[in-house]
Amino acid sequence: MSNTQMTTLDKISVGCDCSIVSLALSSEIKARFSEMGLVFSTIVHIKKKAPLGDPIEIKIRNYTLCLRATEAEHIYVMPLECEPRHKCETAR
């Protein structure tokens, strides 16, 4: 993703990376997310999204975390880059 505009985490595509800019959440939720590593300048990788977009599975600091879309829409990020599309291979 070459766009350098700030956006929210819920709008980042699967397979893309972004950097956290700010959290626009209540202080209680912000503290909980900070304890999980969701802090300024942390790199987040979008692993999966459910078919209807909720929840969103992310990789952050070597672990996987699922967020509600309603929480992700309050996490402001700067898009970095996307991994190239790979062909999907099925197990035989």
Residue 2 lies in a domain: no
Kindly state whether residue 21 falls inside one of the protein's structural domains. Answer: yes
- Phi and psi dihedrals of 19, rounded to 5? -120, 135
Stated pTM of the model: 0.79
| Exposure on the CB side of residue 65, measured as CA atoms within 13 A | 19
The number of folded domains in the chain is 1
Q: Domain residues for 73?
A: 7-82
Q: Assess if residue 71 is contained within a domain.
A: yes
**19 falls within a domain:** yes
Mean pLDDT of the chain: 84
- pLDDT tier for residue 85 given thresholds of 50, 70 and 90: low
pLDDT tens for each residue of 19-32: 999 999 889 989 99
Residue range 25-54, pLDDT digits in tens: 889 989 999 988 899 999 999 999 998 878
Domain of 30, CATH number, reads: 2.30.30.90
Please report whether residue 91 resides in a domain. no
Looking at the DSSP assignment, which residues form a beta bridge with residue 78?
19
